[in-house]
Amino acid sequence: MAATTYNYAVGRIKALEPKLLGKDRIDRMVDANSPQDVLKILSETDYAIAVSELKTPYEYEDMLSRELKGVYDLMQSISPNPDLTQLFFINQDIHNVKVILKSKYLKMENPEPLMGVSTVPIDNIKKAIDDNDYRDLPNYIAGALEILENMLSTKVDPQKIDVVLDKAMYRHIFCICRDQKDEFVKGYFEKKVDLVNIKTLLRVKRIGNGAEFLRHLLLPGGILNEDFFVQALDQPSEWLMNELKNSEYERVIIPGVQQFAKQGSLTLYERLADDYLMDYIKAKKWESFGIAPIVAYILAKQNEIDLIRIIMVGKINNIPADKISERLRDTYA
């Protein structure tokens, strides 16, 4: 039964993969003269119907939200293990919780937009936060909100909201990975946590904060332990590069940290980190069974949507093509 289910799901995925945007088409979009021209190129692809429904290029975010919702709905219908595939969408829930919570406590007039794709209905999140009653929310979110309710009763700190919710999310992710005994998904999130924590380390070093502040920010569950980052805090950048030389992160760390040391910019580091994670999932591209090719497709579509967003923002704001290219991640196709 499970084998048949996986065969069907992977078969659906393999039929969809050829429709992913390749590097050549992404490059054409980057070189386009206007956002309208970007959409013309997209209209040659599987995005044609979505593009035709746009009244103006400035509505592109609605199109991307619908595309992501389509991926989520597909996974809901074909995933043999929704506990694992949902892990790649719960960051949308956490984003929505952050926005609603900050709007309540900070009285924000123009909060960030909410994510339309949510494993927890947005109305449920709003009601729970308005009523301070979290019983209908997932346990990991409810627990984090109870902690924050106590914190926010004395002082409203947006950074604490982010940290508490992010840590709760990753603890939940690794709990599910352990329960499901899935090394591929666990490995992806371990690497992602390490790369986020390295970025956090660089920022904390730059502003000159101490070890306790760093410990407060570090996400749980990575391969590199907390003591490694605390030690690195008091060392020069060369120490970090030397320690991770010949490690799996070398191609991210060496050029990324060098650029940050010279220019104070994390743009290159972030791009290389995302490309590294893309290569990790590409390694499972040709597998024909199991959760890996299904997860790989989810991440490939999320990456594709991010690439379109970066290009559209660049074109709307008249950013030169070479500057847009600097921010683009590798493609899956």
pLDDT in tens, 173-191: 999 999 999 999 999 999 9
pLDDT in tens, 59-81: 999 999 999 999 999 999 999 99
pLDDT in tens, 255-269: 999 999 999 999 999
82-181 fold: V-type ATP synthase subunit C fold (1.20.1690)
CB within 8 Å of 33: residues ≥ 6 apart? none
Residue 117 CA to residue 305 CA, distance in Å, equals 13
Q: Minimal CA–CA distance to 332: which of 17, 9, 2?
A: 17
Q: Is the whole-model pTM more than 0.85?
A: yes
Domain ranges of the chain: 82-181
- The token pair at 75 is 């996974």
Q: Are 218 and 246 in contact (CB under 8 A)?
A: no
What whole-number percentage of the chain has pLDDT above 70?
98
Q: Are 278 and 307 in contact (CB under 8 A)?
A: no
pLDDT in tens, 7-31: 899 999 999 999 999 999 999 999 9
- The token pair at 323 is 């500057």
Q: Minimal CA–CA distance to 115: which of 166, 65, 43, 168?
A: 65
Q: Are 164 and 98 in contact (CB under 8 A)?
A: no
Give the residue-averaged pLDDT of 149-155: 86
Residue 288: exposure state from Cβ atoms within 10 A (0-12, 13-18, ≥19): exposed
In one-letter notation, the amino acid at residue 311 is I
> Is residue 4 very low, low, confident or very high in pLDDT (cuts 50, 70, 90)?
low
Give the residue-averaged pLDDT of 317-333: 90
Residue 61 CA to residue 73 CA, distance in Å, equals 18
Q: Are 126 and 136 in contact (CB under 8 A)?
A: no
Give the residue-averaged pLDDT of 310-316: 97
